[in-house]
Amino acid sequence: MPPERLGELLKGVFGHDAFRPYQEAVCRAVVEGRDALLVMPTGAGKSLCYQLPGLARGGTTLVVSPLIALMEDQVAKMQALGLVAERIHSGRDRAASRQVCLDYLAGKLDFLFIAPERLSVPGFPEMLAKRTPALVAVDEAHCISHWGHDFRPDYRLLGARLPLLRPAPVIALTATATPRVQDDVRAQLGLVNAGRFIHGFRRTNLAVEVAEVPPSRRGELVKEVLADEARRPAIVYTPTRKEATALAGELKRDLRAVAYHAGMTARDRDDVQARFLEGRADVIVATIAFGMGIDKPDVRTVIHTGLPGSVEGYYQEIGRAGRDGLPSRAVLLHSYGDIRTHEFFLERDYPETPVVEELFRALKDLPVPTEGLQQLVSLDPDVFQKALEKLWTFGGAVITPEGDVSRGKEGWQRAYEEQREHRKTQLVLMRRFADGPICRMLQLVRHFGDEEDDGAPCGQCDVCAPADGIATTTRKTSPMEEAALRRALELLRQRDGQTTGQLHAEVVRQFPAVDRRAFEELLGGLVRAALARIEDDEFEKEGRIIRFRRVFLTGDGSRPGAAIEARVAVPPTTAARKRHGKVAIPKRAALPKPAAKAAAAKRGGRAKGKAKTGPEAPGALPALVDALRRWRLEEAKKHRLPAFRVMTDLTLLDIAARKPRTEAELAAVGGIGPSRMERYGERILEIVRSGR
């Protein structure tokens, strides 16, 4: 079908009178046979950009999709339109999959969806190549990139298999890809002269709000927010399965709430998902296992009860709100301690390089079964699996379809260490997003490099419209704070565009009570008062990207004598902290050190904003912490494990804070499961009882 007749097909098959923004240009390029990379936010209509061109080109469109739920949803929708669509994945029996293959070869299918791991099945790619598809669509294409937020090793197979399916054009689609990921996707998939369509990241109906709230307060705040019926249906994302289950249990007392996480059975997850989609549940409390491919248009609120691990993942999750175009809100509740959860996952998923090198040294040129290889190394089974996955991903190991493993190429370490560093950088960027007094939507748009955005503030986030917040409040700056801000404005009039660090260094000479963290909050007050704007900047030094922020005056701020009516955002639990003109925002510290804990314990107080128990509590005395760390190191050396595999810092500090005296008390500590209790329980209790 000629590209100019796409409108007829759009109306006749899909029932749409017109394209959504940016769709038509993508469809025309693909119909003409060009490869394409499409980065468009969740709910913007990406699927049509391969469905319509596939039909227009005739034949079968092959769709590679990473999630069974996503696949099943798409197939059901196509079949409802009268299209012939099928799928092959691990959830289907052999007979059904075999029949789908026969239908594909006979040219009976409009669309065939496959999971990426099918490409590793001997003979399957060759079977697909017997009939050249009309189009190959790679959905969730960011999964192929090491630099993406959701890299999946199975997607590595695509680059080697796609040449078999040429000359069919390839379209790669994703909702979350930074410019670096975009470049990597094009390279990995071998896209030739590909059209690059990066559009639509600004969500005009979505107000984003960020509040710094201690963990102990978040559950209560979620209940307060969702008590308003207009803010439901809602999705609440929690960092862990345990928190998802606990919070859903609390919400059930007043709301129709359900929990969803990967630890549930597939049947239970399907039931929960169906209840939410059909309106039999108003709130779903989930880990990030929930959401991909789920199309519920009327979600009014998305709440995160912890800091996400990346801006890309966060944007994808909040994109599930307001797909119907009506006003919606995303609320992020966080604190500095959230970083520790991500550090734990990083240590788990990316073992330290020496651990992976031990496995690499055990590999030989001749393949050996995985089970035999595991017997050659002294690694915990979970660590072994992670290390092997990373070796394969970065080329240090070769794995046959039968599961045998042989030595890969040398020099994999550099790329692996770069990836570990990249994961840390993702968390830093997420933290900067949460801390930055810059329009939330504008930060997101710039992060993804949207080529069409006008760069204007959104006018509705907590930075642009603080009075409209549902999880934060603001207070007027104190006289001392106003004086500090006047000094900052004077300095900017002398030299505009100074970095926040430079500006603070000058201001603090006259106002020593204003620490760096407090100063950043005050600058946010200037932004809210429309007297200044803050912009991200960066430079490269010794191969590393150094990021910082600059402050610029607005027209009003540049006028000498401008009235300062600045307001500072205050989390709900800190509104009463202002004392004697001092800054209300508490200083942020790094992970508590033993000496700091001892000082806090001696004062009889506890860290502001922290729970009374847990790893932040001052009861974790230095001698006890040191004793537990010495014991952990001995165990790690004895079993040749990374220390975190014996016990994470989070669990160790929690033990020191709680000082359990019985097995029951120890079992209540997070991270102490039955196996750790059996293996280490008696010795831990001895250390706690002795106090050192």
| Domain range 472-574, CATH class | mainly alpha
**Amino acid letter at 139?**
D
262, 241 in Cβ contact below 8 A?
A: yes
CATH number of 594-690: 1.10.150.80
Half-sphere exposure of 469 (CA within 13 A, CB side): 24
Task: Determine the Cα–Cα distance for residues 586 and 577; give it in Å rounded to an integer.
Answer: 8
What pLDDT is recorded for position 562?
Answer: 75
* Orientation of helix 353-362 relative to helix 381-393, angle to 10°: 80
What pLDDT is recorded for position 341?
Answer: 78
- 605: confidence class by pLDDT, cuts 50, 70, 90: very low
Cross-strand bridge partners of residue 482: none
DSSP SS3 for 215: helix
CATH number of 350-420: 1.10.10
What pLDDT is recorded for position 205?
Answer: 93
Dig out the tokens for 611 from the structure: 């729970």
In the predicted structure, residue 358 carries a pLDDT above the cut 70: yes
Task: Determine the Cα–Cα distance for residues 508 and 501; give it in Å rounded to an integer.
Answer: 10
**Amino acid letter at 268?**
D
In the predicted structure, residue 73 carries a pLDDT above the cut 80: yes
In this structure, of 178-182, 460-464, 671-675, the range with the lowest mean pLDDT score is 671-675
What pLDDT is recorded for position 572?
Answer: 55
* More confidently predicted of 264 and 605: 264
Burial of 595 (0-12, 13-18, 19+ CB in 10 A): exposed
Strand order in the sheet with 195-198: 85-88, 111-114, 61-64, 135-138, 170-174, 36-39, 195-198
How much is the average pLDDT of 567-590? 39
- Count, residues in the chain: 692
Report for 122-126, 243-247, 554-558: range of highest mean pLDDT: 243-247
What pLDDT is recorded for position 150?
Answer: 66
**Amino acid letter at 147?**
W
Domain range annotation of the chain: 3-198, 206-338+436-448, 350-420, 472-574, 594-690
- 326: confidence class by pLDDT, cuts 50, 70, 90: very high
What pLDDT is recorded for position 610?
Answer: 35
What pLDDT is recorded for position 127?
Answer: 94
Cross-strand bridge partners of residue 567: 476
Name, in order, each residue with C-beta under 8 angstroms of 117's C-beta and a sequence gap of 6 or more: 90, 154, 157
| Domain range 3-198, CATH class | alpha beta
Dig out the tokens for 593 from the structure: 């050190």
For residue 515, what is the DSSP state? -
592, 561 in Cβ contact below 8 A?
A: no
- 565: confidence class by pLDDT, cuts 50, 70, 90: confident
Same fold, 3-198 and 206-338+436-448: yes
Task: Determine the Cα–Cα distance for residues 589 and 134; give it in Å rounded to an integer.
Answer: 57
φ, ψ for residue 476, nearest 5 deg: -75, 145
Q: Which CATH number does the domain 206-338+436-448 belong to among 3.90.1310.10, 3.40.50.300, 1.10.10.10, 2.60.40.1120?
A: 3.40.50.300
158's enclosing H/E stretch is helix 157-161
Contacts 24+ apart (CB under 8 A), 340-344: 340/591, 340/615, 340/649, 340/650, 341/239, 341/240, 341/306, 341/650, 342/307, 342/309, 342/427, 343/649, 344/644, 344/648, 344/649, 344/650
- Nearest Cα to 652, choosing from 634, 636, 631? 631
Segments of 446-582 assigned E as strands: 473-476, 532-541, 544-553, 567-570
Terminal-residue alpha carbon distance, the chain: 78
φ, ψ for residue 70, nearest 5 deg: -65, -45
- 543: confidence class by pLDDT, cuts 50, 70, 90: low
On average, the pLDDT of the chain sits at: 82
419, 181 in Cβ contact below 8 A?
A: no
Name, in order, each residue with C-beta under 8 angstroms of 93's C-beta and a sequence gap of 6 or more: none
Dig out the tokens for 489 from the structure: 């404005």
394, 378 in Cβ contact below 8 A?
A: no
Provide the Cα torsion 380, 381, 386, 388; round to 10°. 100
For residue 172, what is the DSSP state? E
Name, in order, each residue with C-beta under 8 angstroms of 675's C-beta and a sequence gap of 6 or more: none
- 577: confidence class by pLDDT, cuts 50, 70, 90: very low
How much is the average pLDDT of 541-557? 80
Segments of 423-521 assigned E as strands: 473-476
In the predicted structure, residue 607 carries a pLDDT above the cut 50: no
How much is the average pLDDT of 599-627? 44
In the predicted structure, residue 62 carries a pLDDT above the cut 70: yes
In the predicted structure, residue 547 carries a pLDDT above the cut 50: yes
pLDDT tens profile 19-52: 988 899 999 999 999 999 998 877 678 899 999 9
What pLDDT is recorded for position 677?
Answer: 77
What pLDDT is recorded for position 527?
Answer: 81
DSSP SS3 for 196: strand
Name, in order, each residue with C-beta under 8 angstroms of 288's C-beta and a sequence gap of 6 or more: 237, 308, 313, 317
Cross-strand bridge partners of residue 475: 568
What pLDDT is recorded for position 294?
Answer: 65
Cross-strand bridge partners of residue 235: 284, 302
What pLDDT is recorded for position 109?
Answer: 96
The percent of residues above 90 in pLDDT, for the chain, comes to 33
In the predicted structure, residue 563 carries a pLDDT above the cut 70: yes
The distance from CA 522 to its chain's CA centroid, rounded to whole angstroms, is 28
How much is the average pLDDT of 546-573? 76
Sign of CA dihedral 119, 320, 195, 19: positive
Report for 256-260, 444-448, 612-616: range of highest mean pLDDT: 256-260
